[in-house]
């Protein structure tokens, strides 16, 4: 096959490109320039879109022996990922920008351009496995600690059929780094990127503050009593504990968490940890099925965070419009805007964007997972 290898400048994508060549494919490397001002990135930046990264990707391509190009996708990335991130927070929701990037950039804009140029597939350094077929199936990676099937579960079957993940069977990141060193790739010891790539300094709060007008408002408990004042509801996410600066302590002295973010009346609702537990999760946006939708009453597993755990759940509704599952209080701090992914064993069944959840206070459950994807550490 003729394969376009997306090369971020890191070790994973470099080894993935090398493995694609070794598998007999005709490979061309491409680095996606996603930042409008890449020169602002310097050594130690935690993103993956700097000039240094482009140079690292080029050097890796030279060692592998493949053609290499840089494609400027900054305009598309800004619109589809960065602007979406801001608008979601402005609406009181908690997005996962990595999910959006895979859905709208790597396996949409990049893939469409690749196909138009005659490529058969796009290869990336994601840790996940695809079994070809009609339709193709998506599975967890061999290394559970590095598994990224969650952020890929939004890919429709026709896009998944053109995706290659050469690292899917890698048993650990250490093994990948050792392979990179054997291949003579200088990125073998390069640190992993962290946080959100378009916020290289890690200051998510500052990034949002520069783009969303913040208005002080009330912080209330579940009974409606005012217990503090926030400096802008859009800067908080469900499950957050730090930065609330509550003027009235809880009667029992226990910490309180954000239970709800209402941008309509600019109010935060707070309460104890057990009030974060949810009984049901509803995802009625961007529904994608990678297997036959399970029947009502079927038992599968639900995951709502990229690095969270999958918990057993019962399907209440599953069709082209919505997913609704009963998690029995096994998840907590679920926010609209997150992605719900259903698994059966290691296979991805389907996904959707969460629009609401039903608290499980009456069940007395206090599950352990707090916070949304990337909660602000204030």
The model's pLDDT over 61-113, given as tens digits with 9 standing for 90+, comes to 999 999 999 999 999 999 999 999 999 999 999 999 999 999 999 999 999 99
Instruction: For residue 30, name the pLDDT band (cuts at 50, 70, 90).
Output: very high
- DSSP H helices in the chain: 11-22, 51-64, 74-77, 83-90, 97-101, 110-116, 149-152, 157-160, 173-182, 204-209
Q: What is the pLDDT of residue 248?
A: 80
Mean pLDDT of the region 365-377: 43
Q: What is the pLDDT of residues 335-367, one digit of tens each?
A: 999 999 999 999 999 999 999 999 987 555 444
Mean pLDDT of the region 274-295: 97
pLDDT at 173 > cutoff 80: yes
pLDDT at 279 > cutoff 70: yes
Could you give the CA distance from residue 244 to residue 134 in angstroms, rounded to a whole number?
Answer: 50
Q: What is the pLDDT of residue 37?
A: 64
Mean pLDDT of the region 119-142: 96
266 close to 217: Cβ distance less than 8 angstroms: yes
> Which of the residues are catalytic?
101, 197
């Amino acid at each position: 096959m003729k394969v376009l290898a997306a090369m971020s400048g890191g070790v994973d994508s470099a080894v993935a490109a090398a493995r694609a060549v070794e598998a007999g494919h005709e490979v061309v490397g491409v680095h996606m320039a996603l930042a409008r001002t890449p020169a602002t990135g310097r050594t130690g930046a935690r993103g993956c879109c700097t000039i240094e990264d482009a140079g690292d990707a080029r050097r890796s391509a030279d060692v592998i022996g493949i053609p290499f190009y840089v494609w400027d996708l900054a305009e598309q990335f800004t619109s589809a990922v960065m602007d979406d991130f801001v608008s979601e927070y402005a609406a009181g929701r908690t997005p996962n920008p990595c999910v959006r990037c895979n859905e709208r950039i790597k396996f949409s804009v990049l893939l469409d351009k690749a196909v138009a140029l005659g490529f058969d597939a796009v290869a990336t350094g994601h840790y996940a496995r695809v079994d070809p077929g009609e339709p193709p199936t998506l599975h967890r990676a061999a290394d559970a600690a590095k598994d990224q099937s969650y952020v890929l579960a939004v890919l429709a079957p026709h896009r998944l059929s053109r995706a290659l993940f050469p690292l899917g069977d890698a048993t650990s990141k250490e093994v990948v780094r050792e392979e990179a060193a054997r291949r003579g790739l200088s990125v073998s010891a390069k640190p992993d990127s962290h946080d959100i790539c378009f916020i290289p300094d890690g200051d998510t709060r500052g990034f949002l503050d520069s783009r969303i007008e913040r208005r002080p408002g009330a912080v209330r408990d579940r009974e409606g009593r005012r217990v503090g004042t926030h400096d802008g509801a859009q800067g908080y996410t469900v499950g957050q504990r730090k930065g609330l600066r509550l003027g009235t302590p809880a009667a029992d002295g226990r910490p309180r968490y954000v239970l709800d973010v209402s941008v309509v009346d600019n109010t935060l609702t707070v309460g104890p940890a057990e009030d974060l537990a949810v009984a049901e999760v509803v995802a009625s946006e961007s529904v994608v099925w990678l297997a036959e939708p399970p029947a009502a009453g079927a038992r599968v597993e639900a995951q709502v965070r990229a690095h969270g755990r999958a918990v057993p759940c019962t399907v209440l509704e599953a069709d082209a419009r919505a997913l609704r599952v009963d998690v029995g209080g096994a998840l907590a701090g679920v926010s609209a805007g997150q992605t719900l992914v259903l698994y059966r064993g290691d296979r991805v069944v389907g996904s959707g964007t969460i629009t609401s959840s039903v608290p499980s206070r009456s069940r007395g459950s206090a599950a352990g997972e707090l916070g949304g994807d990337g909660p602000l550490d204030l």
